[in-house]
Amino acid sequence: MFVDEVRIRITAGRGGDGSCSFRREKFVPRGGPDGGDGGHGGNVVFEASPRMTTLLDLRYQKHYEAEVGRQGGAANCSGRTGEDEVVLLPVGTVIFDEETNEVLADLVAPGQRFIAAHGGRGGRGNSHFATPTNRTPTNFELGTEGEVKSLRLELKLLADVGLVGFPNAGKSTLISVISAARPKIADYPFTTLVPNLGIVRWGEKGSFAVADIPGIIEGAHEGKGLGLRFLRHIERTSFLLYLVDVSEWAPEEPVKSFKVMRQELAAYDEPITARPFAVVATKIDAAGDGARLRELQKYCKRHRYPCLAISAATREGLTELVNYVGQQVAQLRAIPCEISS
């Protein structure tokens, strides 16, 4: 099961109390205060792990709590610090404060850590309160409470290329033939209910990651269809492929389909439409007399949009597509660019 959004509650450990103690030892009269400090409470820490692919585990465990600090002891012995609670998250997880909707952290690199809740401070023992006028203090400090937070975690897939297209535009079929991904493929709309990620090999040693985003429809930015639930996964891609069905039985005109997709992405997040992209005419093996394909190619040529024609069924044009996309990704990796999170 693919889970990309959960809400959890975290509690850092409470700090241990300081100790009130006096030295009692033979031949040492008036040994004085020797109460130790309490240990600090443990933190709640999130760590990005490449072994995690979804937030499924966090759906069933909603509360995470770090260990409390131990109380201080006699002979100036400090209490033990509480163990941190380390929670593994998939790479690409964004952490939001549920109450303020503030982005607290964006875990985009394997091994990246973020302390989401700090443990309480341990209290001081009575040895800290001795003065020349008060040599036998009985006061000590209590440990402070750890932070408690309600968080929302969102997973945004990390991929070089995002496949955008209407339902049944051929996204799942394409990713299945150019990578080892095996998404569900069928002849009805919204076959893909979760994003799929595939690694595509090109050239001698090159590769790039492709994300198959569930079908966009008109009104997706308002939540229609699978809408907002999966549009977030396209935010991290650096190159887009707009897949347009040019088969003779396609429900929409190809140019209209492309325009609607651009409009939906612009309505969701305007900067996404400024990223490099290419238009891919799919299902050319069923294009009939080719009028729809020529219409799309003419439109792209007029606007200077790169346009490639493919058939995932017959594999026509796939080599050219993979090489073209691989070259574009290589250029983008060489030129640092900001991707909204």
Gap between the Cα atoms of 88 and 109, Å rounded: 13
Gap between the Cα atoms of 173 and 181, Å rounded: 10
DSSP H or E stretch at residue 200 = strand 196-202
Ranges in the chain, pLDDT < 70: 1-3, 181-194, 214-230, 335-341
Q: Pinpoint the alpha helices (H) of 103-192.
A: 171-178
pLDDT at 229: 56
Q: Which residues contact 166 (CB under 8 A, 6 or more apart)?
A: 215, 216, 217, 245, 252, 257, 260, 261
66 closest CA partner among 123, 148, 141, 124: 148
What phi and psi, each to the nearest 5 degrees, are found at residue 89?
-130, 155
DSSP H or E stretch at residue 291 = helix 291-303
DSSP class of 274: G
pLDDT at 181: 60
Gap between the Cα atoms of 76 and 18, Å rounded: 10
Q: Which residues contact 190 (CB under 8 A, 6 or more apart)?
A: 167, 214, 215, 225, 226
What type of residue is 241? L
pLDDT at 220: 45
Domains contained in the chain, CATH given: 5-155 (2.70.210.12), 161-334 (3.40.50.300)
* pLDDT, tens digit, 9 for 90 and up, residues 257-314: 999 889 888 887 888 888 999 999 999 999 889 999 999 999 999 999 999 999 998 9
Q: Is the pTM of this model over 0.85?
A: no
DSSP class of 253: -
Gap between the Cα atoms of 231 and 210, Å rounded: 15
Q: Which residues contact 291 (CB under 8 A, 6 or more apart)?
A: none
DSSP H or E stretch at residue 59 = helix 56-60
Please name the residue that has the structure tokens 């190159």: 239
Q: Which two tokens stand for residue 65?
A: 């709590």
Q: Pairing mode, if any, of strands 206-212 and 196-202?
A: antiparallel
pLDDT at 12: 98
Q: Which residues contact 50 (CB under 8 A, 6 or more apart)?
A: 91, 110
pLDDT at 217: 56
Half-sphere exposure of 291 (CA within 13 A, CB side): 6
Q: Which two tokens stand for residue 36?
A: 């130790």
